[in-house]
Chain A
Amino acid sequence: MQNSLPELVKCDVFSLFNQMRSVSVDLNNDSSLLIDIPDALCERDKVKFTVHTKTTLNSFQKPEFSVPRQHEDFIWLHDTLVETEEYAGLIIPPAPPKPDFEGPREKMHKLGEGESTMTKEEYAKMKQELEAEYLAVFKKTVQVHEIFLQRLSSHPVFSKDRNFQIFLEYDQDLSVRRKNAKEFFGGFFKNMVKSADEVLISGIKDVDEFFEQEKTFLLDYFSKIKDATAKAEKMTRSHKNVADDYIHISATYSYLLICLHSLCVINAYRHLEKFSELLEKLRKVEGRVASDQELKLTELLRYYMRDIQAAKDLLYRRARALADYENSNKALDKARLKSKDIPQAEENQRQCLQKFDKLSESGKQELTSFKGRRVVAFRKNLIEMAELEIKHAKVRIKSAVCSEHNLFTHN
């Protein structure tokens, strides 16, 4: 029996999502640039996304086109945006995380090892469940890559970015550009980020009320949401374990019935069959509850954790700009003292101030719209999750009532 995960999985994503798409919301109803990922292929460990664009903008060569992209291309795009000085005052949408099939892969491996200890039916059901899990991971990664692009396309500034356009349009392999970019930027920004937290936290109290408040709020909120994400992940994982147990129970139980077939002709044993059917229904519900919880709750928290990190990054950059400005002030004073290079120092100071002001202004805008976006996203997902939970509980009730009814009528 084949133990490996499907080597080549084609996923028609478009039809799968329909309404309840992503955890992110688009407050901007501009349809001049529409992007989606209708298709994706999984080859071994590499995922190939088909990025499809529909646009009314003249800056593009065609009104509609598709290109294949890999995860690394998305990362390249993200990094170039981060490195672009002009965008220092904007919240850069967080990069999509690398597709991680490690979980289902490991489980599949364990399943293969334990094949001899379980019945054929049990094994088949577990395999089916694992394949569904694999597919869920796949769907999630497509979703998260799509959101990234959609955030960019709905942003007035990012949508006009040259690299973004190349990403969408360029029908050749981007790997050449990627290599160049890496060499150029290196780990420059990474080093900066390392001490960013210290810069923010140890920094002097901001004169601007708004930013001071934001700093306090975001730092606090980030640590809380990070914790909540971790706990949600644990909770969802144990929920998944419970659902898996139901598979074992349901399968063993039906096997038991087969062995007791001689007794099953007795009416009295019919109820055992009904119970077996109930167990099968229950396990499907449990599986769905676990995965819905994952998609709506855990993924919501995870995404906004990353988004808040991006907001924090904006604050770091502003703090950095402020530090630069203060340094330029000091340099100017020194220059005046020494009566040397005064015009350069003045120019430097002026530029730093300009940069800082621009950052502050766009930063304020960004952070304000981020608030709104975040609240709307939470609202949407919490409502959807509650509705799903109610739906699933009702299914459980209906199944149990149905079983109960069968038990009594079969007496």
Chain B
Amino acid sequence: MSFSSVRNPPPFLDSEDQEPEYDTRELDSDDGEDIFTGSETDPTTDIFSEEGSFTVEKNHPPAKTNGVQSDEELDLFAEATVELTLTTPNSRGRKEIIGPTGPLSTTMKLEEEESGDTFELNIAVTNPEKMGDGMNAYMTYKVSTQTTLPAFHIKTFSVRRRFSDFLGLYEKLSVKHHLMGCIIPPPPQKSVVGMTKVKVGKEDPSSAEFVEKRRAALERYLQRVVAHPALLQDSDVQEFLEREELPRAVNTQALSGSGFLKMINKASDAVNKMTIKMNESDNWFESKLQEVENEEQLLRRLHASVDSLVNHRKEMCINTAMFAKSVAMLGSSEENSALSRALSQLAEVEDKLEQLHQEQAFSDFFILTELLADYVRLLGAVRVRNSLFYGTLLKYTFCCSWQRWQEAQATLQKKREAEAKLLWANKPDKLQQAKEDLTEWEAKVGQCERDFERISSTLRKEVHRFEKEKCRDFKHHIVKYLESLLRSQHRVVKCWEAFLPEAKAIV
């Protein structure tokens, strides 16, 4: 059964604020397999059996070191890839959705390396509604999904969720996936102040802004979650999207929960205590982490600058409005009638400009600031002993796996020595046991090695995938920003061009 990919998704939802096209994610699928039953190809690995699920990266060429997009692989991992790569008869090469090169639309250009069949999943978060009263009040949001994935029973459905549901989802996902080296997008942050205002029922623009900010953040959060191939297959995610009523998530202190922090600290300590030296593949990892650290700092700075821009622009709005009023007054007291008219016209122009500045500030904010804030959080809102959050976890996973392999090798060596001793001592019955032991350990070493290679490869793929997505995200937002800039500037030109004849008419 092969499904053809839909090039231009049908218009989705009537409200203007949705950008369903952006959410189009093309997923791989194998012809004969249900991609949602995670088939475990290696049942003996310790780490993973605890967690219970395991993602198989199908058809995805492993990433090269240093994140440069390429299909080549180091010799070290060449064998590991054989197991994973599954070819399908409908392999396709690079695929692009070509957007219009003329007037911009919100259809993004996607670059995906994939082969195989593709499905679609679009998500939107809309219609915030206040439920309840007083301090027990809360906001619910409509989460709408439109999909062609077979795992979902119907193609279009929606549920209502509240903020704590989103946090609960994050907690479930992080427990399951973090130790596998997945970069789970964090949800938007809690805000006591913001929510209190909403609860109390203040109908002022700042609480409306807060709700809008949150709605957009929740939407971005879900879009990032489903963009991750591993997470999309997760039953919790599917349940979140589909199920009518979710059990109320009580412990929603995902990031600040003491249990979770303890785990991170333990991981960080373990990494630091590891005495066994790692080979050169560690260098890639180390340099990657360093790069991420630098990037996070710069993004933080960029975020602060854009924030400052937004504030200054808002200030400029206020000042422009005041100036407009003042000019209007001046115009009214001007005795020359043509000049008086021109001055009133100037006041109107300034008023319109103020509106445009306001909109520009809004778009600066939503498009740029929020994006940057997201990524700063994504990279490491929680710092663990001076290193970034997700970096620590990745490192832990990586190092654990390596260590296991080394320990297994060390044990194997001991067994070999024991066998040799027995041979020399000529004790045939013990020798048999020793030989069996040796075989067992050789297998174990082989297993650990394969595990390590698989984990390395998974981690690299994850990092690569994350970077690609980040890149795509930024590009998308840049395009949006350009659109809004063009729109507003065209209007600026119109305003002033309308004013010019009035100015020329002064006599």
A binding-site residues for B, Cβ under 8 Å: 217, 220-221, 224-225, 227-228, 231-232, 234-235, 237-239, 241-242, 245-246, 248-249, 252-253, 255-256, 259-260, 262-263, 265-266, 268-269, 271-272, 275, 278, 371, 375, 378-379, 382-383, 386-387, 389-390, 393-394, 396-397, 400-401, 403-405, 407-409, 411
Say yes or no for B443: interface residue by CB 8 A criterion: no
Say yes or no for B378: interface residue by CB 8 A criterion: no
Q: Decide if A242 touches B316 in the complex (CB within 8 Å).
A: yes
Q: Decide if A227 touches B479 in the complex (CB within 8 Å).
A: no
Q: Decide if B489 touches A400 in the complex (CB within 8 Å).
A: yes
Q: Which residues of A contact B454 (CB under 8 A)?
A: none
Q: Decide if A221 touches B334 in the complex (CB within 8 Å).
A: yes
Stretch from B26-34, B41-49, B64-72, B195-203 contacting the other chain? B64-72
What is the CA–CA distance of A401 and B483 in the complex, to the nearest angstrom?
9
Interface residue count on the B side (C-beta < 8 Å): 65
Q: Decide if A252 touches B298 in the complex (CB within 8 Å).
A: yes
Q: Decide if A217 touches B335 in the complex (CB within 8 Å).
A: yes
21 contacts between A and B (CB under 8 A): A217-B333, A238-B319, A241-B312, A249-B305, A256-B299, A262-B68, A263-B471, A271-B474, A378-B339, A379-B504, A390-B496, A390-B497, A390-B500, A393-B492, A393-B493, A396-B485, A400-B482, A400-B486, A404-B482, A407-B479, A411-B109
Q: Which residues of A contact B490 (CB under 8 A)?
A: 393, 397
What is the CA–CA distance of A231 and B301 in the complex, to the nearest angstrom?
32
Query: Which one of A266, A389, A401 lies within 8 Å of B486 (CB-CB)?
Result: A401
Query: Which one of B68, B96, B326, B507 lies within 8 Å of A411 (CB-CB)?
Result: B96
Q: Decide if A245 touches B334 in the complex (CB within 8 Å).
A: no
Say yes or no for B134: interface residue by CB 8 A criterion: no
Q: Decide if A268 touches B493 in the complex (CB within 8 Å).
A: no
Q: Which residues of B contact A379 (CB under 8 A)?
A: 339, 342, 503-504, 506-507
What is the CA–CA distance of A234 and B67 in the complex, to the nearest angstrom?
49
Q: Which residue of B lies closest to A260 (CB)?
A: B295
Q: Which residues of A contact B335 (CB under 8 A)?
A: 217, 371
A238, chain B: closest CB distance, angstroms: 4
Say yes or no for B475: interface residue by CB 8 A criterion: yes
What is the CA–CA distance of A239 and B320 in the complex, to the nearest angstrom?
10
Q: How many A-B residue pairs have CB under 8 A?
A: 172
Beyond known contacts A235-B322, A242-B316, A245-B312: 7 more, CB 8 A cutoff = A221-B330, A235-B319, A235-B320, A245-B308, A262-B66, A268-B111, A383-B500
Say yes or no for B224: interface residue by CB 8 A criterion: no
Q: Which residue of A lies closest to B474 (CB)?
A: A272
What is the CA–CA distance of A263 and B109 in the complex, to the nearest angstrom?
19
Q: Decide if A238 touches B298 in the complex (CB within 8 Å).
A: no
What is the CA–CA distance of A95 and B292 in the complex, to the nearest angstrom?
60
Q: Which residues of A contact B315 (CB under 8 A)?
A: 238, 241
Say yes or no for B291: interface residue by CB 8 A criterion: yes
Say yes or no for B382: interface residue by CB 8 A criterion: no
On whether A386 and B496 interact (CB within 8 A), knowing A252-B298, A375-B339, the answer reads yes
Chain B stretch 461-507: residues in CB contact (< 8 A) with chain A: 467-468, 471-472, 474-475, 478-479, 482, 485-486, 489-490, 492-493, 496-497, 499-500, 503-504, 506-507
What is the CA–CA distance of A403 and B482 in the complex, to the nearest angstrom?
8
Q: Which residues of A contact B313 (CB under 8 A)?
A: 242
Q: Decide if A235 touches B489 in the complex (CB within 8 Å).
A: no
Query: Which one of A235, A266, A371, A409 lies within 8 Å of B323 (CB-CB)?
Result: A235
A383, chain B: closest CB distance, angstroms: 5
Q: Decide if B496 touches A389 in the complex (CB within 8 Å).
A: yes
A249, chain B: closest CB distance, angstroms: 5
Q: Which residue of B lies closest to A232 (CB)?
A: B323
On whether A252 and B109 interact (CB within 8 A), knowing A224-B326, A268-B468, the answer reads no
Q: Decide if A231 touches B322 in the complex (CB within 8 Å).
A: yes
B379, chain A: closest CB distance, angstroms: 13
Q: Which residues of B contact A382 (CB under 8 A)?
A: 342, 346, 503, 506
Q: Which residues of A contact B486 (CB under 8 A)?
A: 397, 400-401, 404
Chain B stretch 317-365: residues in CB contact (< 8 A) with chain A: 319-320, 322-323, 325-327, 329-330, 333-336, 338-339, 342, 346
Query: Which one of A249, A260, A263, A378 lies within 8 Å of B302 (CB-CB)?
Result: A249
A213, chain B: closest CB distance, angstroms: 8
Query: Which one of B323, B493, B500 lies within 8 Å of A228 (CB-CB)?
Result: B323
Say yes or no for B422: interface residue by CB 8 A criterion: no
What is the CA–CA distance of A176 and B100 in the complex, to the nearest angstrom?
75
